[in-house]
Structure 1
């Protein structure tokens, strides 16, 4: 008990650390989101735009004023020079009025002057020309804002040594305005080009750091979702320190989590494992056998193999205590090897020289062959390594069907073992608990017809919170026989569907049915997906398309994958969560705790809930070992923000104990039976 309390305490401390860190980053993320709603690219372009505007306005005003002063001086010089030239020409021509008028008209017709006047010595106008035309290429607001003042140029006209009059010239400002406006446009183009160039260079610089920035954001988002990932340290000094700190924190959390996962697995082994061989003990075997017989999604048939070693005490005397223990461990390894590629199987050593192997889904012929193989391997091992021969062991095989009781199956296995003993040395015998129905249904035709005609339907099983509110309805797929109308459970047809590669099609049909049901259901709906479906890219594409067509309904769906199918396939679960997370669907693991294959990776799978396997729940009120395991799971799940749900809770006593262990939800007979809820 002291060790269990120590392990559970570490689980609690790890959970608190995860909760605080993830919570802190979640808060920081919300603050950043609300206070800094504009992206870096938009900020950059806003700064460039404002800078360009201010630069243009400043340059524009200064340049225009300077250019205007210069043009006014040039116009005055032009007027003075041409006035002197005209006066000189008129002085040389004498007092001929016609010639005077001709000279004035010739200069005026050049178009550079707005006003030319020749006055005599009495200040009477002799010749006058005035141009009232205005420029139409320059906006009026521009001429009004930067008005050009053309000062008049004057020169005296002489007649010999006497003054004959005075000419006055005022230059036309149209050309000056046109030149000034052209300069303004060129300035605008230059400043705009410089601004665009600056913005483009800035964008290129941002793009060079966008990838590390995106990775930092991805890491921060993952932490807020309680997925703890590390990223490569960028070369950007401003980001290096932050990324190193986050990576260091994540590595420490992963180390804490790995340590806690190892401790939980050690707890499970202590509570449900055989200390000598490492196989499951009788408690774990009994709970798994009960689940195989009673759980809704279990296969409809299977086999229980029972190997009995004769005269174990005699072998112990012959081989010695250590030698006999080594023999038992070697036979256990032979037993364990059969489960390597069959994660649904359970290899156990209930006592002494008794070994049992639970094989859900195993048919009679395959069970016979497996029993004979195991008997042959065990006797060969005993002969070659321990020099034992003769009548050493027997194997009895019980064939069961879903819905039978564990007591019936154990009794059948015992009778089969007695039959094997009476059959001869090292013999194998097979018996059925009851006459098994012939499974010769045309499953291929039935399943294809069911998909085509939508003969499948869903049966709901409520899942509630400890406080009584409904969390969701867990759905089990059923097929209505087209001829008899009989309701066929998934355990009847799923083994064939798996062998035929039809599980993705059936899972997609179940999703369609769930989408239709959800519209009329006040509660969320949970569906179990096969690992084959989760691995299929075509299935995921079709599922996402189906859910995207009705996002509001999709948000009410919960998807779960059984843990025993995830061994070595955790990347598949990550892919599933990555595809469903944008749709706000819940994703969880079903039958969690059978193998703990996903436990060390819970921190980066992006899950929402765990359904703790009924093997850990059955009789938990009388099992301190399983209580310690479940409490540690609930603690670490709570720290990751995961909801924990207990499967097949059968009694009020189990429910009460689970509430004290921190398990939030439950399903099973205690939920549906009258008077227990």
Structure 2
């Protein structure tokens, strides 16, 4: 980058050095010494042509971009030939064809220049720029009026029978006017006004003044002291400008397209337009009309020029209005992008916060309430995982449309992120409108959403908050969010109304979360072990490791309170690693303390959904088995039925690897979730655990015994064993035994207890009868 910029700067300096050097040479040319003038003429003419060729080679333009410059080289060569012929055949008073040979020689040069400038306009797309084109037309008309008044009329008045030859000389300034208009169009078009543009424009102006001088000299309106060689200075200055333009690095940008952009009429252009009107008018008034036709032409050109200027000003004003409108629309579009969700086009969190702040202030003044519904889609991740994010986006758009159709025109439906939507009800809403709307939404979402993959059903969890006016927007959102999570905890597909009790509960939850983050490091967590017994043969088979938390301030915290927090925050992952290692080490210690002929024991550890994702659980299990020496068959991992279904692909992959290691997989809380035979067949599980709620329900008249019987039969049909949880009475034990249930756990056999408690069961005879196990644990039943 640095070397490229350095080379560009050096090239720019070379261009200006060429311009400065030729300027000094032109000063020498004005001395009048024929030898010096001839030398300067040769050096500048040849140098300018060589500079163009050198610039084309240095900057390596494409053939299409280089073609206009080669036209310029051809034109300059023709002009050099014309100048040489002019010096060889000085014009006299007799108008012969030989006297006009120089003029005839430069005609191809003008045609080549017109072609070159036309190509430049096309490459730069400057011809598409209306303001630039209008300014060029103004300059052309003004220059035509001045040329007509100062040159053409005097030539026609003086020429007599030789008018045809005089008109040939007068035609060159007209061509120069066209070239100047084209150069002006290049200069005024959009894009930076690079040095190359000023050089080219200067060259066009030089040609116009040079040809005017020659034409005036031709009709005797130039002082006798002014020679053709002196007039050549103007042409040579134009030559030098072309050479400097080709050497300047900005020449490569002359052919870069610059699409038209609406711009305001700047002060520079206003001054230019005024000059275009005044200068030709003054020039025309300086030379009186020779006849009526001359007056008519002058009036016509003046009227055309005036009308063109007025049109230019009006169009500039219109362009300014259009530009202002475009800027306003762009500002509105930018504002909308900043305040609306790009996917659903619903208002976003920023606009919601602004609106709530305004509505809350108005409600405070009116003594009214403000209502908010915070909606989250249940298990939206499963949609993305199963069908991809494109279908997930389809669903979000469909949800946005359905919600928008359920509110009043004055209410607000927003998407504040992910699968979260907020419905804000205007402050004059009826008192119970929020609750009734939430109930309608829950009912309406039972209707499938038609998507590209088919009909998809998704359920909402909605938090509703009603607060007095003046409540801050962030507080409203926070409380509605809390209520939404309450609806999720209640089983999803429902709504919950925020109240102060819920706020206290949330505050307590936050306190527990903060305390839980350091509980493991502080040694506040421990494991209690509940025995699992063989119902049919009698005897202890193992234990379930259950997590307990003893907080120094809150005391014993229920697992029902802190386990969900650990799962939601991800703390369950490091805690789960610790549980695995602690339980395996404890069981191995007990196994080693048992008699040699005692049956093998196992320990069952609960695994959270988060632990099933990725390879961390697999690595932890391998490390635990290696560190403790516990056989893989002695480690049981319990995975809830609903947890396995939440991310089935990931869960299946992890469970299959664990099964391959020899770990026993248990499906926990079976019957509370999908309870599908096909799902049970799919999962690599050896144990099915019946939820305690069904065991407790067996005592009722129309209880759950039929469900338990069905689960046992289904599991046995698939070669799985069954564990019944929550067995507390002998009647339950006997019924389960009659139903051919394999294993059981519950307070009948022993409460969860720390490993430091009575370990009399370690020395029980083999196999230990169920009654003995019960007796060993009976002392630890809660009173």
User: Is TM-score (shorter-chain normalized) higher than 0.5?
Assistant: no
Q: TM-score, normalised by structure 1?
A: 0.36
Structure with the bigger percentage of strand: 1
Which structure would you say has the larger RCO, counting Cα contacts within 8 Å and 6 or more residues apart? 1
Q: TM-score, normalised by structure 2?
A: 0.31
